[in-house]
Structures are given as structure tokens and as C-alpha cells.
Amino acid sequence: MRPSVRSLAVLFALFGCRSDPKDRTPIEERLVAELGDALAREIKPNGHIREYELVAAPAEVNVAGESKLRAWAYNGSVPGPTLRVRLGETLRVKVTNQLPQETTVHWHGVRVPNAMDGVPYLTQAPIKPGETFVYEYTPKDAGTYWYHPHLRSSEQVERGLYGVLIVEDEAPPPYDHDVIWVLDDWRLGQDRQIDPRFNTRGDLMHDGRWGNVVTVNGRTDEVLKVRAGERVRLRLLNTANGRVFVPSFGELSPKIIAVDGKYLARPIELERFELAPGNRLDLDLEMNVSSSARFEVRDLFSERRPNRLAAIEIDGLVEKANTFASPARARVPAWQDFDSAKIDKEINLDAAAGGPLGIAWRFNGVAHTAHDHHAHPPLMVMEEGAFHRLRFVNKSFRLHPIHLHGMFFRLLVRNGRSVDEPFFRDTVLIHAEETIDIGVVPFDAGRWMMHCHVLEHAEAGMMSTFEVRSSRAP
């Protein structure tokens, strides 16, 4: 029986775009008001188009201390080329797949139109070997982002497919050096080549694939050379499948100016910051030291077994120290007053035997494969422009860096204690048996991924979707 036009109209009035799926409380209205214009809702493209080409293909690279490492690379290099675009400009990237398998490119942390998000079987069809796909969008936020495949990523990212995307401010702050350090690790076998056993049982049961060689920009001997008095913007990015880094600069005391691309409300000292897979950290380094010095930068995630990351060498000095106000003066809502905002969704993280890999990592008992996102309803429906409080409960003993596509959030609570992070994130690390609350006001409609950035966990099911519904009248 076909429904009458009239009953359709009634249905539309009840469930259509104009209806309000979320009863907004006065508190929640206040939290939204506090956000103000901290996140741009729209951006007006200025008409300039930056064009790039990326070719994903097998390549022999000089990486991880090996002169002929057989990797997969964008344009023959690991990391791939750094793409730069200025706020207001439109990025157009032609991606050609010369890999022996399908791929896509995802723009981690960038708020893009949903169709440009690079998630296979959700926002686009996979790019087949020999095929090309053109991504085009105008970023809404300046900052440090990255791109990587979103198909079989536990293998493709591990083999070397990733690169940095920098969205520059309209007027970039006058640093003497703008430096990128991409942190990664590699698991090399006896033959000093990439161990081709991916998604092993051990990796799946633990915190993903942790390698035996740690690199910065693909190197084991990266050195940054500067002069005393100079000012450096250092962009750190963790592209590892599972490893968490805690970068430590010894006597140098950097300030954090941006997390996950976005500037802070105020600069803060770098203390113990866990740079989980996917996270970025922009540091402001003032080289106010004697004219020559050398600093070792180490990873102290495991204090007993620190990893050497890189060195900073200071040689010579500039006449006049570069002084300007730190760019970390962004509007970030304090959201101190969220307590009576109701929890819109509680999400349990656990594992069970089963699934294509033998172990299934799950959100609320459901594991996705890359192919079946549409077979599952979205884990939650969000309303554009409304405040949502989400609770993640880790029922496992493993680490889960949880990443949301298409939106930034603030961490509100960790293990029952409210936290005051003066910044947004797109990825937050949840430790063994922890519970966290995040607050988010999404502005970009579409069906967005939410997943663990331990790529083996994601591959084994720890993926889901959020549907952001437009509140605008149809």
C-alpha cells in the first residue's frame, strides 16, 4: 500500500529536517553560544586554486637507515610531498593509483565536504589500480594536517603512504623556520625490509604494530640546525600505526601553540604530551641559548626505554632575537559548565573473538569492515550546530586513540575528573579501562567516520559512523 501524500507530509513534519531530534536544554544552548565563532561554519573561496598531483606507487627509498627500502610512496618519497595551501584557497589534488591494490586518500583533521573525505564505500568508491580521483575542497581551518589512505590503511600507511598538508594562515606568523617532523616507526625483518606480515594476532591483541626502528621524516639521524635567537615553528605529527610518542626537548622549553592543527586559547608549556597516532602538535621554540649548543630530542613514552628522535643544533647567533606574540590566541570555549548537559551517547570499546581477522574490535558490540559501513545504522545522529556530550568507556586494557572525521571536539572529563585543555582535538588517546567525555558541536553535515587510529584495531572492526544532520531548512 502506498502512503498518501498527506501522510507523507505528516511524516516529514515529524521526522524531516526541520524537526529537532535533540531537546536542547538552556545549558546546552549556553555551551553552543560559548563556542561562538571559534570554528568557521563556512569559508568563502577566494578563487585561487592550488593544484597538486600525487602518484601512489611502490618505490625504493632511503628511509629508516636503509638505502634501498622497498616501500609504497607518494611521488617516490616518504613522507610524501608537503602540500601547502593558504586559508581561502582551494586545493585540488589529482591522485593516481599505481599500487597493486585499491586505495583512497583521506585528509586527516580537515573539515571537507563529505564527498571529499576519502572513506571507501562510505564517501566514495575505492580508486582502483591504474585509476585517478580528483579531490577538491577549500579548507576552513589553518593548521597542520596530513593525508593518508583510508583503505587497508594498516598496510598502506605502514608501507609509507602519508604526507603533510599545511593550511597557512592568511598572514602567517613570522617564524624564522617552519619545520615539519613526521614521527613514525618501522618493523623491519632480518632482511632489513618491511615485515610483510600485517595484522598479526599479536598486533591485533595489543596496541597495534609497533616497529623496531623509530624515524623522524624517514630518518634516524634528523638534525635541525638553527642560530641562537631564532624562532622556530616545529610541527610534529605521529603517523605510526600504533606507537605513542611523548616528545621531550631536555633543556629547551617549547610552548604548544596548536594541537591537531588548531591554535590554542593560550600557549602552554610542553610537559608530558602523549602524541598518539594521528595527533599533531605545533611547537613554538625560542632559541634563547648561548651561541652554540646541541639538544637531543627524545621520546619518553616509555621512561625506561627512551627513543632518540632527533637533535637540534644551535650554531651562530642572530643580531636581534625574533620577538612576536605567539599565535595561540584562538577562541576556544572553556565549557566548564557542561555538568548538567546530558550524555547523548555512551560508547563502549571492547574486543571479541571472531570477524575476518579472528579478533573483532567493537563500538557498542558492533564491528565494521571497510565494505559494510552502510549495512549498519550510524552509531548516532547528531544535529548540526547543537552541543553533544559523548562518553567513551574503554572496557579493554589496550590503547585506543579515537578519531572523529569532519569535526573538532574538546576533551571534558577523564576518569571522572574534568580536564581543562584549552584546545580542540580531532584525536584523543584513551588508556586501559578509562572513561572519557568529549563535547562536540558539529557544523558539517554528512556521514562521518569515527574510529580507532591504531590502524590494526580499525582494520579489525573498530570503526563506526556519525550522521550529522543539517539543521537548515530544506
Q: Is 390 in the site for ligand C2O (CB under 6 A)?
A: no
State which residue, 108 or 209, has the beta carbon closest to ligand C2O.
Answer: 108
Give the residues across from 95 on adjacent strands: 54, 133
DSSP string, 65-90: TEEEEEEEEETTBSS-PPEEEETTPE
Measure the CA–CA gap between 127 and 107, rounded to whole angstroms: 15
Measure the CA–CA gap between 272 and 247, rounded to whole angstroms: 8
Stretch (H or E) spanning 337:
none
Residues 370 and 152: beta-carbon distance below 8 Å: yes
Residues 195 and 201: beta-carbon distance below 8 Å: no
Non-local (6+) Cβ contacts of 78 within 8 A are 59, 61, 63, 71, 160, 162, 218
Q: Is 362 in the site for Cu ion (CB under 5 A)?
A: no
Between residue 398 and residue 437, which ones bind Cu ion under the rule CB under 5 A?
A: 400
Q: Is 449 in the site for ligand C2O (CB under 6 A)?
A: yes
Q: Is 405 in the site for ligand C2O (CB under 6 A)?
A: yes
Q: Is 452 in the site for Cu ion (CB under 5 A)?
A: yes
Among 209, 235, 425, 451, binds ligand C2O (CB under 6 A): 451
452 binds, among Cu ion, ligand C2O, none (CB under 5 to 8 A by kind): Cu ion
Taking the complex as a whole, the smallest distance from the CB of residue 343 to Cu ion amounts, in Å, to 21
Q: Write the binding mask 385 to 404 for Cu ion: x where contact by CB under 5 A, - elsewhere.
A: ---------------x----
Closest residue (Cβ) to ligand C2O? Answer: 108
Size of site (CB under 5 A) for Cu ion: 4
187 binds, among Cu ion, ligand C2O, none (CB under 5 to 8 A by kind): none
Indicate the SS3 state at residue 432: coil
Q: Is 457 in the site for Cu ion (CB under 5 A)?
A: yes
Between residue 17 and residue 46, which ones bind ligand C2O under the rule CB under 6 A?
A: none
C-alpha cell at 447: 556521514
Q: CA 418 → CA 23, 195, 407, 410, distances in Å?
A: 24, 42, 21, 11
278 binds, among Cu ion, ligand C2O, none (CB under 5 to 8 A by kind): ligand C2O
**Residues making contact with ligand C2O (CB under 6 A):** 106, 108, 148, 150, 278, 403, 405, 449, 451, 453
**Residues making contact with Cu ion (CB under 5 A):** 400, 452, 454, 457
